[in-house]
Structure 1
Amino acid sequence: MKKSWADQYFFESLSEFINRLHEDRGGQLELLAVFNPLERDELIPQRPPIYLLVLYNTEVDFLKERLFLKEHDPSGLFEFFCYSVEAFRNMLRDNNPIALIARESGLVLFEKGDISERL
């Protein structure tokens, strides 16, 4: 029998991170998904890091935003891939492996409207 996410080692940290992200970037946040760029069949690794895709409705400075997100993750469990929706669409069009894996095997945790259907 599979365990529920509430039983997983990352659940509390993920919940806290999502709340912090929503407080600071809620107006810009379009999609938050968990995925594993290293192993498609294992969405959640047995140990950190856990990979999160964060998409915004505005342009994103990848390095600055990663630093911002790291500051909002005191647990240190998460690695972030953060892009604008438009940049992510371009990555998909260019067959970027990270983008393709995230779209094909990622699990959406938060989404505004039906953004995942329009990628």
Structure 2
Amino acid sequence: MAYGSALAVLADPTRRQVFERLRAGPRPVKLIAAGLPVSRPAVSQHLKVLKDAGLVEEHSEGVRRIYSLRREGLLELRAWLDSFWDDALEAFKLEAERSAPARKTR
């Protein structure tokens, strides 16, 4: 149930802001933290939680750590959310078929 982990991790508003800042591309902690109401060490802790949940990955460039979204980490969450849409469309189809007037056959 990886989607449950993703939901729990992203429930924190600050962590969600950190995650959303990576939408534009890979960033070092300094840029991610800029303008947030928490310290850089706090941002690093949020990034660790996101990384442990499989939502973020990191690599080193010299002495800097660069963080980026791990899109595969969202696939299970997306599949789970899409299943609700699939269920709704199937229910709509069944209701439309049920309520359509019976066709006369010749």
Q: TM-score, normalised by structure 1?
A: 0.26
- Structure with higher strand content: 1
Q: TM-score, normalised by structure 2?
A: 0.28
Of the two structures, which has the highest relative contact order with CA contacts closer than 8 Å and spacing of 6 or more? 1
CA radius of gyration, larger in: 2
- Structure with higher helix content: 2
